[in-house]
Amino acid sequence: MWNRRRLLGSGMAALGAFGLRPVANAQTLSRSTVTTGPDVVVEIADGRLRGGHSRGALAFKGIPYAGSVSGAARFREAPPVVPWSGVRDATNLGAPSLQKPKSTYGEQEPAYAEDCLVLNVWTPAVNDGKKRPVMFYCHGGGFATGSAGSTAQDGARLAATYDVVVVATNHRLGLLGYLYLGEIGGADWATSGNQGMLDIVAGLRWVKANIAAFGGDPDNVLIFGESGGGFKVGTLLAMPAAKGLFHKASIQSGAALTRMPKDMATETALRVLKGLGIAPNDLHKLADVPAEQILAIQLAAEQGQGPMTLPSDGSPPVPRDGRLHKAGYWVPGGYGPVVDGTILPADPFAPVASPLMADVPLIVGHNRDEATFFNMGRPDTFTLDEAGLTARMATEFGSDADKLLTVYRATYPQATPTDLYIAIASARWFGADSATTADRKSVQAAPVYQYRYDYESNFPIAGTTATLRAGHATEIASLFLNTDQPGLEGNGAGLAEASINMSAFWSSFARTGAPQAPGQPDWPRYTTADRPVMLINTACRVENDPEGAARKVWQEEVAD
């Protein structure tokens, strides 16, 4: 529960010293994220918009930032918005991208749709001549699910408290956003594997053209995102089309080094075409396929079924061998942003950080116990004994299991088998790449700052006596000051203080490029000499190279 007394008493007074604005009126403290009157009208390049009030800020929702991407426009770069006459309603959320049912969490959100290119804006004021920092959010959900309308990511309180403008977009997901046809269809389909990312670039261009009307500064834009949103931010950092449209970046729990290679992406496309009964020389027929049929193939693959799971040449599937494949998040039959040599010229952080991001300050990090979230459907994880731990490690980490267990047992001598597994699994997909990303970014001119989110959520894991602790996605509501919304962050003691700390760090970074929070220690620029990491909690502290021995094993010894 949102604890107004604790929030005001422990942190809001200190915010005044940072020039920030505590919000404490009755409307702000409402849980609802629905936009209410009185109406507010603003004029942008494409026409006039009618917004309203929400949680202490002004809210404008469901604003189109590009045109239709269905039918003949499918797998193509989005066309411009068609301007409108009169005043367009912008008080309600727009449709999220087509995806599996029950995978987004917006209040009064409409049904999923193929035409989904809309965005939301939250701002303290409009047409007041101010130039506020813009915080442009990329939602999580991998590249398959998610929405800009999620209640945990509602931008109203962040905007009202820190005098910033918050923007979040819906964009194409799944096969509709990332089916790569360039090798099959040639130049006419060259951009097809990165349409979801190009949608986000179109949203950034919309910000460049229109955000001044909402009191935002188009020359001071932070892109930030969690999980799949962090992947998206990392991809934008390496895209020439995005260069100059943002000025700072933050990757939360999504610091992957590589993106989908063309050969694997092409194999995915061949499998999908075979499943649809479309020959490679008949790509024009894709425009006539119901979007739900394409989604059905994608969803079947998530269950290990359907054409995406079977090699296009008819050969038997090749099982993975249980090794880590440190650089190989991508497998044939998967999808995501494609290193096509043009839209995405190279991997963002492999073998080095892209030179396109050399002048962009970056925050990168993860949550300490990421893996609790991904084991919520495996209750036996939380009752592991030594034999169970050894067996699971051998299955999931192959020949790397022994060296990882040795270093983690030395690092955490009192840890239970469950604790050891969670620590190792969390580092596997998040911690190791956060450290390598920081290392590779640190040699560039602009600074990088590394963090670890340590606040322990008391959210219960069904079928166990365990809680999420600092699990994946437990920090989202904290950053957005939405801890009043029941969610993964729980309702434990100290949550409001952790939320103030995290939101202050990110909003100050958006403003100045240097993260600060009232009453918390200075956050040093990351270097490979000291490797300082900000441990974010109710009270924050800096630790140099936490889990340093384990980090070295991940970076130097774990097999590719």
Q: What pLDDT was estimated at residue 25?
A: 38
Lookup: tokens for 5: 């007394």
Q: Contact, 410 vs 323, CB < 8 A?
A: no
pLDDT for 23 beyond 60: no
Q: What pLDDT was estimated at residue 560?
A: 53
Helix or strand or coil: residue 336? coil
Q: Summarize pLDDT for 140-160 with one digit per residue, the tens.
A: 999 999 999 999 999 999 999
Q: What pLDDT was estimated at residue 131?
A: 97
**Topology classification of domain 38-260:** Rossmann fold (3.40.50)
* Rounded Cα–Cα distance for residues 277 and 217 (Å): 49
pLDDT for 502 beyond 50: yes
Q: Summarize pLDDT for 504-555 with one digit per residue, the tens.
A: 999 999 999 999 999 999 999 999 999 999 999 999 999 999 999 999 999 9
* Rounded Cα–Cα distance for residues 7 and 13 (Å): 9
- DSSP line for 513-554: SS---TTS---PPP-TTT-EEEEESSS-EEEESTTHHHHHHH
| 142 Cβ contact list (under 8 Å, min separation 6) | 227, 228, 231, 336
Q: Contact, 490 vs 468, CB < 8 A?
A: yes
Lookup: tokens for 506: 């990110």
Q: What pLDDT was estimated at residue 499?
A: 98
Helix or strand or coil: residue 246? coil
Residue 318 — pLDDT band, cuts 50, 70, 90? low
Angle subtended at Cα 272 by Cα 233 and Cα 226, rounded to the nearest 5 degrees: 20
Lookup: tokens for 358: 């050399």
When the pLDDT of each residue in the chain is averaged and rounded to a whole number, the result is: 92
Q: Give me the phi and psi of 391, to 5 degrees please.
A: -65, -45
Burial (CB count within 10 angstroms: exposed 0-12, middle 13-18, buried 19+), residue 124: buried
Q: Tell me which CATH homologous superfamily contains domain 368-556.
A: Alpha/Beta hydrolase fold, catalytic domain (3.40.50.1820)
Could you tell me where the DSSP H helices lie in 398-521? Answer: 401-411, 417-426, 432-441, 476-479, 495-512
Helix or strand or coil: residue 10? helix
* Rounded Cα–Cα distance for residues 79 and 263 (Å): 28
Stretch(es) of the chain classified as CATH 3.40.50.1820? 38-260, 368-556
Q: What pLDDT was estimated at residue 330?
A: 76
Q: Are strands 448-453 and 118-123 parallel, antiparallel or unpaired?
A: unpaired
Q: How many CB atoms lie within 10 A of CB 67?
A: 14
Q: What pLDDT was estimated at residue 559?
A: 60
Q: What pLDDT was estimated at residue 228?
A: 96
pLDDT for 16 beyond 70: no
The owner of tokens 């049904």 is 111
